């Protein structure tokens, strides 16, 4: 697990590590589309993004969406340009007032580079929104596969994509140069008949293993049978089903503009912290905490 954590840290901090096999990812996505993609996570993400855009209360005239599944995202912003999530995005600098990076940033070999490209495509005071699976996604599957492989082979291999933690993501936005960065998440619980049912769903999402360092041969029935046993034992849901976690991460940032709020400079406060802490607002004594 430590090696996967190191891979994630390097991945998130813009190390030139090649994490994703883009050809394998393209094959996985094409297979999902050909078989009737199961995109319920995308549908939840589109609902969340539309709600966030409503809260912004701004009319966007030149939006663009970065997505590998354009049919699912077209209704979010009718008339928006939709481009693929290639390593080099098909974006023209300073031409968009909104960029939505939709359910693809977790597969980028250079996440910071993707953010910088999006920032450059924005007009001043343009809005950037991203949504993608986060670190708690598939934690039950990850643990079950690791336990099975440790028992059968005495070691671990990369089987589930390491995904970003929320504490790292605000720093990514700041590093890319966005103003007013915000990172938040939505945790979802789902249940499946068993591990095999979950893996079939991931295959239909186009989210199966596309790591560059993945094993290229079939792990074998014994391995998956043990992983399924581990998951049923450690993560039971109602009845005879198993529990799975999905986490959607959301990033929000703005292209810098002079009209935006700025943080106060150190030492510019008009009152001392000690004075604020000692104030009682007319009470005879400070309130007690229960």
Residue 206 has pLDDT above 80, yes or no: yes
* pLDDT of 212 above 60: yes
Q: Are 170 and 181 in contact (CB under 8 A)?
A: yes
Phi/psi region, residue 192 (left: phi>0; alpha: psi -120 to 50; beta: rest), is: beta
Q: What angle do CA 223, 160, 168 make, to 5 degrees?
A: 150
User: What local confidence, expressed as pLDDT, does residue 98 receive?
Assistant: 98
Please check whether residue 280 lies inside any domain of the structure: no
Please answer whether residues 32 and 69 qualify as being in contact, where contact means their C-beta atoms are separated by less than 8 angstroms.
no
Range of the domain at 252: 2-259
Q: Is the pLDDT of residue 9 over 50?
A: no
Whether the CB-CB separation of 116 and 176 falls below 8 Å is answered with yes
pLDDT, residue 160, reads: 58
- The region of weakest confidence among 18-32, 155-169, 174-188, 235-249 is 155-169
Average pLDDT, the chain: 84
Domain-embedded: residue 273:
no
161 has a pLDDT exceeding 80:
no
Output the six-digit token pair for 118: 């999006």
CA distance 37 to 60: 29
- Report the DSSP beta bridge partners of residue 122: 96
- pLDDT over 60 (residue 135): yes
More confident residue, 218 or 78: 78
The reported pLDDT for the residue numbered 274 is: 53
Is the pLDDT reported for residue 223 higher than 80? yes
In the chain, which ranges are E strands?
A: 63-66, 81-83, 96-102, 122-133, 179-192, 242-254
DSSP 236: B
| Coil vs helix vs strand at 111 | helix
Residue 228 clears pLDDT 70, i.e. is over it? yes
Across 152-156, average pLDDT: 60
pLDDT score recorded for residue 203: 95
| pLDDT at residue 265 in the model | 59
Q: Are strands 63-66 and 81-83 parallel, antiparallel or unpaired?
A: parallel
Answer whether 80's CB lies under 8 Å from 108's CB. Answer: no
Number of domains forming the structure of the chain: 1
Domain assignment present for residue 59? The answer is: yes
DSSP label of 107: G
**Lowest mean per-residue pLDDT among 75-79, 93-97, 100-104, 169-173:** 169-173
What pLDDT is stored for residue 150 in this prediction?
80
Look at residue 287 and tell me whether its pLDDT is greater than 60. Answer: no
Domain assignment present for residue 285? The answer is: no
Q: Are 168 and 249 in contact (CB under 8 A)?
A: no
**pLDDT for 90 beyond 70:** yes
DSSP per-residue codes, 116-161 = HHHHHHEEEEEEEEEEEE-TTTTHHHHHHHHHHHHHHHSS----S-
Whether 79 is in a domain gets the answer: yes
Minimum mean pLDDT range among 25-34, 231-240, 257-266 = 257-266
Residue 217's pLDDT is what? Answer: 58
Q: Does residue 273 have a pLDDT over 90?
A: no
Please indicate, yes or no, if residue 76 is contained in any of the structural domains: yes
Stretch 259-263: mean pLDDT: 75
Give me the CATH number covering residue 17.
3.40.50.150
Query: Does residue 20 register a pLDDT over 60?
Result: yes
In a domain, 11, yes or no: yes
Bridge partners for 254 per DSSP: 127, 179
pLDDT band at 153 (very low <50, low <70, confident <90, very high): low
Is residue 271 included in any domain, yes or no? no
Predicted pLDDT at 283: 41
């Amino acid at each position: 697990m430590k090696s996967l954590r190191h891979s994630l840290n390097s991945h998130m901090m813009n190390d030139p590590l090649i994490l994703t096999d883009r050809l394998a990812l393209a094959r996985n996505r094409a297979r999902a589309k050909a078989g009737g993609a199961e995109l319920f996570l995308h549908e939840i993400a589109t609902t969340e993004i539309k709600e966030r855009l409503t809260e912004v209360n701004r009319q966007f005239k030149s939006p663009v969406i970065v997505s590998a599944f354009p049919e699912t995202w077209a209704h979010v912003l009718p008339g928006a340009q939709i481009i693929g999530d290639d390593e080099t995005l098909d974006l023209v600098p300073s031409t968009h007032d909104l960029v939505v990076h939709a359910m693809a940033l977790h597969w980028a070999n250079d996440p910071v580079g993707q953010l910088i490209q999006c920032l450059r495509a924005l007009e001043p005071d343009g809005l950037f929104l991203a949504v993608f699976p986060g670190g708690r996604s598939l934690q039950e599957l990850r643990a079950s596969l690791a336990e099975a492989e440790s028992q059968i082979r005495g070691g671990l291999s990369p089987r589930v994509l390491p995904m970003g933690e929320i504490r790292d993501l605000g720093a990514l936005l700041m590093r890319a140069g966005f103003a007013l960065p915000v990172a938040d998440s939505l945790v979802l619980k789902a249940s499946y008949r068993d591990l095999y049912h979950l893996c079939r769903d991931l295959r239909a999402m186009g989210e199966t293993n596309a790591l560059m360092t993945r094993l290229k041969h079939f792990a074998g029935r014994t391995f998956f049978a043990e992983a399924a046993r581990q998951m049923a034992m450690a993560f039971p849901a109602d009845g005879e089903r198993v529990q799975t976690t999905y986490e959607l991460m959301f990033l929000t940032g703005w292209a810098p503009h002079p009209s935006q709020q700025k943080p106060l400079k150190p030492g510019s406060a008009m009152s001392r912290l000690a004075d604020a802490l000692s104030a009682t607002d007319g009470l005879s004594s400070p309130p007690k905490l229960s």
